[in-house]
Amino acid sequence: MEWFTLLKDVRDYLAHFGAINFSLKEGNCGALYIEMFRGIEVNAFVEAVDIGFSRLLKFLDEHCPNVIDSL
């Protein structure tokens, strides 16, 4: 549930500081990337949340029909 922790961290940051500042950084190979607070790369954040949420939806899709059928 790392993705959920990331979302919670963003929510907490917004609640306490009011805005997220983005920084443009240069990687080792010279490629540019956008960084959020605490050194979190935006692409990695979006990918982690997308994968985690998709897995949660798949679990619910598989699990909930079984619960309903057992009633």
12-31 pLDDT per residue, tens = 988 988 888 889 988 888 88
Half-sphere exposure of residue 47: CA atoms within 13 angstroms, side-chain side: 5
Tokens 């979190």 correspond to what residue? 40
Locate 45 and state its tokens: 């954040």
pLDDT-derived band of residue 52, with 50, 70 and 90 as boundaries? very high
Q: In terms of pTM, does the model score above 0.75?
A: no
Of residues 71 and 24, more confidence is placed in: 24
38: exposed, middle or buried (Cβ count in 10 Å: 0-12, 13-18, 19+): exposed
